[in-house]
Amino acid sequence: MQRNKFQECYIRPIAYFGSESLGLRGQNPTEVAVLAWPGIKHVSGDSLNKGARLTVSPYVKFDSRMMPTTAKATGQYLNSFLATREAMARGFDEALLLNVEGTVSEAAVANVFIVSGRTIRTNDEKSSILLGITRDSVIQLARALGYKMEIGTIRLEDLRASDEVFVTGTAAEIVPIGELDGVAIGSGHPGPVAQELRQAFDRAKTGQDAAWEHWLHRVRESVHA
């Protein structure tokens, strides 16, 4: 961050096998690259202010018997890429992938949460999801704020009947969902729970809430002679 003179940025480290040999049996050393983008916006301001438009994707989330769903592997992004492109082509902001059992897995690159009163529910690895860091952060924040957290299967009818739906991801952070396939979720606008959690998350990540200081890794400011 110091060398690039970034005050705020999105960082993505990538580990991959080197090119000393070709083929699946090649014993190549692991190489690492770190990419950084300043001011990246995964979602538009309209999606945050009005609620994102979600659609059920015709693509299905791959199962853990095909490849590990809990691994953040670059090759697996093809599933998300196809779902996102198809959803955008139909005028939606985000795709919702079901798993092979027909229950909710996750959005293309985000975990799903539903709200009913003071109860918040999200699924786990049994639903073929990536166990996101932001997902875990929101679970901890929600419990600290007094919400009841439930972890388990989510069905499409659960989304449609909920008071609020929001999704979480590293770049997106917390994004409220306004509608599913043209039908409003709750009021059709960002609900109070998603907004409260977003505010709490903002305070935590910027060091304004000392209770979450252990989440942060301070970067020392360079001192030039």
Q: Compute the distance between CA of residue 90 and CA of residue 121 in angstroms, rounded to an integer.
A: 28
In the chain, which segments carry CATH 3.20.10.10? 45-210
> What are the pLDDT digits (tens) for 34-58?
998 887 766 667 777 889 999 999 9
> What are the pLDDT digits (tens) for 146-170?
999 999 999 999 999 999 999 999 9
Beta strands in the chain (DSSP E): 9-17, 30-38, 52-60, 94-98, 104-107, 111-116, 119-122, 148-151, 164-169, 173-180, 183-184
Q: Exactly one of 5, 50, 72, 205 is catalytic; which is it?
A: 72
Determine the average pLDDT of the residues in 186-193: 95
- pLDDT confidence of residue 222: 63
> What are the pLDDT digits (tens) for 88-133?
999 999 999 999 999 999 999 999 999 999 999 999 999 999 999 9
List % helix, strand, coil for the chain (3-state, nearest 5): 30, 30, 40
Q: Under CATH, which number does the domain 45-210 receive?
A: 3.20.10.10
Crossing angle of helices 192-205 and 133-144, in 10° steps, is 110
The confidence band for 25, taking pLDDT boundaries of 50, 70 and 90, is: confident
> What are the pLDDT digits (tens) for 164-182?
999 999 988 999 999 999 9
The confidence band for 184, taking pLDDT boundaries of 50, 70 and 90, is: very high
- What is the pTM for the complete model shown? 0.91
- pLDDT confidence of residue 120: 98
State yes or no: is 72 an active-site residue: yes
